[in-house]
Amino acid sequence: MTHALITGGAGFIGSHLAERLLEAGQQVTIIDNLSTGQFKNIAHLERKHGFRYAIEDIRNIHVMDRLVSECDLIYHLAAAVGVERIISEPIETIEVNIGGTEVVLKTARRYRKKVLIASTSEVYGKGTRFPFHEDDDRLMGPTTRSRWSYAASKAIDEFLALAYHKEVGLPVVIMRFFNTVGPRQTGQYGMVLPRFVRWALAGEPINVYGDGQQSRCFCNVRDVVEAVFALSQSPAAVGQVFNIGSQEEVTILELAQRVKRRAGSGSDIRFIPYDEAYEAGFEDFRRRVPSLEKIRAAVEWEPTTPLDQTIDEIVAYYREETSNGRN
């Protein structure tokens, strides 16, 4: 029986992945310090056969050594996430993302364990060639703007993982996520869709940053987890980088309008300048669209959940949270 270790397993994506692996008959151990993850995300798994957890920081090398020695493969999802946290806690962002990945890779090398590493579309920076391909050149903003520290730290994670693969033959797979969304995602650190839903359900203004014409592609977490699982089963994926996301592009203003409509909300839509929302000189991407050619060819994966269905699922999730007094 395969035994998987998920770092950041009490987080949004990690908890859904844990469910999927347990359904596949695998043993699952998660490690999470609950800095952005929440125990309630995994509480329903606590008594399931083959599931266990450690509430600890992945930079604790003694705990990680034990957990890695006992597993067959590692899904490394733990990271400092969310635009607001990246700007307000830049030291933690850099140290967790780089230092945590270093510990994961060193312990994986010690026990020769396969590692799937979560990266991000942010590494494409200010790229203007659409859709983004995995081997595209990258253009980053200046180091004087902390907004770019997350993209830079995740790029270092990728370089380090690929170096371990090249130099010592460690089996690694890198996954670049593009705006993963769904139930359990929190808006606490700037995640746009859950924030829109919560504002809409509360009848509060839906705050759109900038002019709202920036566009994104939102992919349902269930589809993302299927891609992750497929890559974990593919020997040909080792040593490769893959985009994981949807190609259903939508502007942020249109997203706000769709959330308002599907939630049956009377909320106003309000525009907030970036300087007021984040920090002076904040830079955002106008478009972010993935090429899926590589992952299609490797594991025949394709997202299947329409955005409106995902919005409905998030609305239902937050309505239930509110009715149960958890919001």
Residue 28 lies in a domain: yes
Active-site residue, 150 included: yes
Q: Residue 55: pLDDT above 80?
A: yes
Spatial distance between the Cα atoms of 96 and 309, rounded to a whole number of angstroms: 34
Question: What average pLDDT does range 31-55 have in this prediction?
Answer: 96
Q: What is the pLDDT of residue 324?
A: 79
Total domain count, the chain: 1
pLDDT band at 90 (very low <50, low <70, confident <90, very high): confident
pLDDT tens-place string over residues 123-151: 999 998 999 999 999 999 999 888 889 99
Tell me the mean pLDDT in the region 279-306. Answer: 92
Where is average pLDDT lowest: 51-60, 186-195, 267-276?
186-195
Average pLDDT over residues 276-292: 85
Asked whether residue 293 carries a pLDDT value surpassing 80, the answer given is yes
- Identify the helix (H) or strand (E) that includes residue 277: helix 274-277
Q: If you average pLDDT over residues 87-102, what whole number do you get?
A: 91
Average pLDDT, the chain: 94
Examine residue 197 and state whether it is found in any structural domain, yes or no: no
Residue 131 preceded by cis peptide, ω within 30: yes
pLDDT in the model for residue 327? 58
The tens digit of pLDDT for each residue in 219-262 reads: 999 999 999 999 999 999 999 999 999 999 999 999 999 999 99
Determine the structural domain holding residue 62 and report its residue range.
Answer: 3-179+221-246+289-303
Q: Which of these ranges, 19-33, 73-87, 118-132, 258-272, has the smallest mean pLDDT?
A: 73-87
- The catalytically annotated residue of 150, 164, 209, 278 is 150
* DSSP code string of 158-226: HHHHHHHHHHH---EEEEEE--EE-TT--STT--HHHHHHHHHHHT--EEEETTS--EEE-EEHHHHHH
Contact between residue 92 and residue 80 where contact means Cβ atoms under 8 Å apart: yes
What does the pLDDT read at residue 181? 97
% the chain with pLDDT above 70: 99
For residue 117, pLDDT beyond 80: yes
- Distance between CA atoms of 81 and 164, rounded to whole angstroms? 24
Pair 87, 126: CB distance under 8 Å: no
Say what the pLDDT of residue 81 is: 80
Per the domain annotation, does 227 fall within a domain? yes
Query: What does the pLDDT average to over 100-115?
Result: 98
Give the per-residue pLDDT at 57.
97
CB 210 within 8 A of CB 274: yes
The pLDDT value given to residue 102: 98
Confidence class for position 110, pLDDT limits 50, 70, 90: very high
Place 189 in a pLDDT band, splitting at 50, 70 and 90.
low
Asked if residue 200 is part of any domain, the answer here is no
Residue 293 is encoded by which pair of tokens?
């050619």
pLDDT in tens, 147-171: 889 999 999 999 999 999 999 999 9
Q: What percent of the chain has pLDDT over 90?
A: 86
Element (H, E) at 114: strand 114-120
Q: Is residue 256 part of a domain?
A: no
Say whether pLDDT at 302 is over 80: yes
Asked if residue 317 is part of any domain, the answer here is no
Q: Check residues 86 and 265 and name the one with the higher pLDDT.
A: 265
Quick check: is 318 in a domain? Answer: no
Is 326 within the bounds of a domain? no
The domain that holds 293 is classified in CATH as 3.40.50.720
Model pLDDT, residue 190: 62
Q: How far is it, in rounded angstroms, from Cα 225 to Cα 231?
A: 10
